[in-house]
Structure formats: structure tokens, C-alpha cells
Amino acid sequence: MRIKDLQVRKQRYLAGAEMLRTLILQCMDTRGEKAISSPELTLGITTRSPDVVVTDEAAVPSRFFTPQPPKLDKKALKDAVLTDGEVIDGVSLGNGKISLTIRRK
């Protein structure tokens, strides 16, 4: 019973931390700040490359699947679309994300 109570408490703390992280990221993005430094930590916003969104897996060429068992090789697919500029049926680009980086000193 005690373990379950502690697990619920842990999830509550993790959810609160994620909510704070999202709030800080939104505030920094709204203000146009890329980094905030203090003696204890540094907060920074980085822009990530767009993700590949597979809309129709059956339309993707077989070279992007790894054999036995068939599994979509998203890294090769992302490289082909982003690096080589290849247009592949069943694949589109999602929006790039921004993320918050926290470094402790």
C-alpha cells in the first residue's frame, strides 16, 4: 500500500515538473529569450528539426523498412526526406519543435 502511495506521489511530482517546464518554455518563447543564466543553472531554448510524419505506411518504398520483421526505418526515412530532399509517397514533414534545456552548474 505504501509503495502505491509513493508511486502516485512520484507521478504527481513529475507531472508538476513537466507543467512548470512547459510554462517556462512558453514564457521564454513569448518573450523571445533564447537563454537565461543564473549562478545555479542555465535555461536555453533550442529548435529541433522537423519530424517525419508517416501518413500512409503502405505507400512508403520497401527500402525504408528493415527486414524480419518488417519495421519502418524512420532514421533512413528522415535522412532521405530532410537531407536529400526526396519526396516519398505516404510521408510528410511535421512542424519543428522547440525544447527547453536546463543545465545545472
- The confidence band for 29, taking pLDDT boundaries of 50, 70 and 90, is very high
Listed range (9-13, 14-18, 88-92, 101-105) with the worst mean pLDDT: 101-105
pLDDT digits (tens, 9 = 90+) for 39-79: 999 999 998 889 899 999 999 998 998 888 888 999 999 89
3-class DSSP state for residue 105? coil
Residue 54 CB contacts under 8 Å (≥ 6 apart), including other chains: 60, 72, 74, 77, 90, 91
In whole angstroms, give the CA distance from residue 100 to residue 25: 6
Q: What are the extents of the domains in the chain?
A: 1-45+65-84
The predicted structure's pLDDT at residue 66: 85
Q: What is the pLDDT of residue 97?
A: 86
